[in-house]
Amino acid sequence: MKNNLIFFVAVFSFCLQLGHVHGAEQLPTEWRITAGNWRFADGILSVDSMNAEARVTFGEDSWQNYEIKVTATFLKVQNNSRWLAIVFRGARDGSTPWSQFPIRLKTSGHSGSEFAVRKDSKHWDVRQRVRAVKDSQIGRPRQLRVVVQGSNVQGFLDGQLLVESPFCMDRNTGCVGLSVSGCMAKFEDFKVRRLPDTPQILQKDLKPFEVVAHRGFSAVAPENTLVAIQKAIEAGATGCEFDVYAAKDGPVVLMHDATVNRTTDGIGKVTELTVAQLRQMDAGSWKDQRYAGESVPTLKEALKTLKGSGCQAVIEIKMEGISKRVVETVRAAGMLDQCAVIAFSATVVKEVRALEPRLPCAWLSGEKLKGSPSQRAAWIASRAKQCNTNMVDLNYNMLSAEVLAELKKRGLIVWTWTVNDPVIMEGLMRWGIQSITTDRPDLAAKLSKRAGGRNNPPDHLR
């Protein structure tokens, strides 16, 4: 009976489209302009928004799942970065938040297409960036399609799947529409097909998680410095991540990039500079003048700052060949029970696991995977096994509720990075994530505490 009901809903779900009202200048009554200069004539919806954003909405705020199709054409653009988009999970009156699937004229560029959420009048959260095979062209139509089901969204361009994300979570329901920025465009053959409702993610309970400050409290203090570590502790983080290289004369130091150019007033490769030279550099002024004079710390100094604080040291090894030095420094500090190591390099993970089995070590990954949740989880688990570890630290875009469940079935401890939006944090909490690395440990700590979390060492690091 259940299958018959689903079949009935799917077969008789309705299709709405722009009518062909010849010569009409006003939009059909079902549409609502929330911003910009829109015009409707001869079945074509056109907009002139060269110097601003423009949006129009259709449908009801109570709609949950749907498939949206439209033929879209750029007529003129301010520059190659400007976009046109399908809007979904929005509000009829245009109020934030809403989600959208945009394409830019230079569609093959780094952010040629996206899954983006307008959080408020000034801020976007871009949750996925992708490149299309071909650029768009002035005057040439392109077919856009979006499918929204539960928290999952897929975006297609000319039949090619570009965007796929399980993080459409800002609204459980919402209307649809169109949006443009910095261009003139036209839209034809707009269609929306309702799909069966699905269980809402917000009905699941929030579960506490470990809060790992990314490069220290890097949202407010200069990354990978002692002051950033101290502020992470003060913010209630249960872990503090930082990156390490070896200086020319041997000691391990904190630095994210292979060079000091971005985060100090010096120039050169970390591995070609001595600790004395690194100490002479200002690693704080680039962030804010109040941090002028903040130095590049050694791993030994970072561990001393964290020891006994209740905040774990999460050491990302950025280069091969220094695993033994890192392990020996942790041992010398007496902090095997208050540290973890992470690395993208499988070689590094295997080395650390062999050198000190008591030291937790996670394999890092940001791979874009395809296949079923089971297939994705199987690939991740196989890589972890090759590294001789049961811990993985994955970019959050690699995860979904189903993938996370499959990884846990395989006995893996799953961390994720780098999540700054509380909406995504809450979604991951409802899925049962074990640790989140974030630039905003203050926000994450409040969420975890609300769910019953405590500021103490996680079980697997005790």
pLDDT in tens, 116-163: 999 999 999 999 999 999 999 999 999 999 999 999 999 999 999 999
pLDDT digits (tens, 9 = 90+) for 371-428: 999 999 999 999 999 999 999 999 999 999 999 999 999 999 999 999 999 999 999 9
Q: Across the chain, how many H-helices and E-strands are there?
A: 10, 22
What is the share, in percent, of the chain residues with pLDDT greater than 90?
A: 89
Looking at residue 454, its pLDDT comes to 59
Ranges of H-type helices in 275-345: 275-279, 299-306, 323-332
On the question of pLDDT at 267 being above 50, the answer is yes
What is the token pair recorded at 233?
Answer: 């502790």
R_g over Cα of the chain: 25
- Band of residue 204 on the pLDDT scale cut at 50, 70, 90: confident
pTM, to two decimals: 0.91
Long-range contacts of 347-354 (CB under 8 A, 24+ apart): 347/320, 348/317, 348/320, 348/323, 349/387, 349/388, 349/389, 350/386, 350/387, 350/388, 351/323, 351/324, 352/317, 352/323, 352/326, 352/327, 353/387, 353/388, 353/389, 354/388
Looking at residue 439, its pLDDT comes to 98
Output the furthest CA–CA distance in the chain (Å, rounded).
Answer: 81
Helix 323-332 and helix 346-355, axial crossing angle in degrees, nearest 10: 40
Report the alpha-carbon distance of residue 390 to residue 363 in Å, rounded.
9
What is the share, in percent, of the chain residues with pLDDT greater than 70?
A: 92
Looking at residue 453, its pLDDT comes to 77
Looking at residue 230, its pLDDT comes to 98
pLDDT digits (tens, 9 = 90+) for 320-373: 999 999 999 999 999 999 999 999 999 999 999 999 999 999 999 999 999 999
Looking at residue 390, its pLDDT comes to 98
Regarding beta strands 113-118 and 98-104, do their DSSP bridges make them parallel or antiparallel, or are they unpaired?
antiparallel
Report the alpha-carbon distance of residue 248 to residue 37 in Å, rounded.
61
On the question of pLDDT at 15 being above 90, the answer is no
All domains of the chain, ordered by start, with CATH? 2-197 (2.60.120.560), 210-461 (3.20.20.190)
Least trusted range by pLDDT, from 8-12, 171-175, 420-424: 8-12
Close Cβ partners of 33 (under 8 Å, ≥ 6 residues apart): 27, 55, 56
On the question of pLDDT at 21 being above 70, the answer is no
The arithmetic mean of pLDDT across residues 249-267, rounded, is 98
What is the token pair recorded at 429?
Answer: 């909490």
pLDDT digits (tens, 9 = 90+) for 279-329: 999 999 999 999 999 999 999 999 999 999 999 999 999 999 999 999 999
- Band of residue 25 on the pLDDT scale cut at 50, 70, 90: low
Report the alpha-carbon distance of residue 461 to residue 358 in Å, rounded.
9
Handedness of CA 294, 299, 304, 306 (dihedral sign): positive
Regarding beta strands 152-157 and 339-343, do their DSSP bridges make them parallel or antiparallel, or are they unpaired?
unpaired
Looking at residue 229, its pLDDT comes to 98
On the question of pLDDT at 175 being above 90, the answer is yes
Looking at residue 201, its pLDDT comes to 64
Give Cα 425 to chain centroid, integer Å: 10
On the question of pLDDT at 456 being above 80, the answer is no
